[in-house]
Chain A
Amino acid sequence: MLGALLYLRLTSLKNLLLSRLRRLRQPKYLLGAAVGAAYFYFIFSRPFGGSGRPSTSSGSAAAASFTLSPVELVPLLSVFGAFALVLIALFTWLVPSEKPGLTFSEAEVAFLFPAPISRRRLIHFRLLGAQLHIFLSAIFFTLLSRGWSFLGGHVLTHIVGWWLVLTVVNLHFTGAALTLNRIFDAGISVWRRRLVILGGLTVLVVAAAIPIWQNAPAFPTGNFGPGAFFSAIARTIDTGLLHWLLFPGKLLLAPFLAADLRTFFFALGPAALLLGAHYFWVSRLEVSFEEASVAHAEKRAARVERFQAGDYRLGSAPAKARREPFPLRVPGRPELAFLWKNLLGTRAVFHWRVWAGCAVAIMIGVPWIIRAGGTAPFAAIIAVVAAVFAIYTLLLGPQLARQDLRSDLPNSDILKTYPLTGWQILLGELLTPIAILTGLLWLSLLAVMLALAPRAETVSWLTPGFRLTAGLCAAAVIPALCTLQLLIPNAAALLFPAWFQSTRTRGGGIELMGQRLIFVMGQLFVILISLLPVVVGCALVIFASQWLIGPAAAVALATLLALAILAAEIAGGLWWLGERFEKLDLATELRP
Chain B
Amino acid sequence: MTGNLLSVLVFLPLAGALILLMLPRENHGLIRSMAGGTALLTLGVSLFAWSRFDGAASGMQLGESYPWIDFGMAAVRYELGVDGLSMPLLVLTTVIAAIAVLASVKITERVKEYFVWMLVLTTGLLGVFTALDLFLFFLFFELTLIPVFFLISIWGGKERNRAAFKFLLYTGLGSAVMFVAFIALAFTGAEAAASAQASFNMIVLADMFANPAIPEVLGTAVRAGLFAAVVLAFAVKLPVFPLHTWLPAAYTQAPVPVTMILAGVMSKMGAYGVLRVGYGILPDQAATFAAVIAIFGVINIIYGACLALVQTDLKMLIAYGSMSHMGIILLGAASYTQAGMQGAIFQMVSHGLIAALLFFIAGALYERTKTGALSELGGLSRSVPVLAGFMLAAAMASLGLPGLSGFVSELLAFMGIFGAGDLIPAAAVIGIIGVIGMILTAGYLLIAVQRTAFGEMKEQFKGLPDVRPGEYVPLIGLLGLSILIGVYPNLLSDIINTTVIDIITRAGG
Check if A and B associate.
no
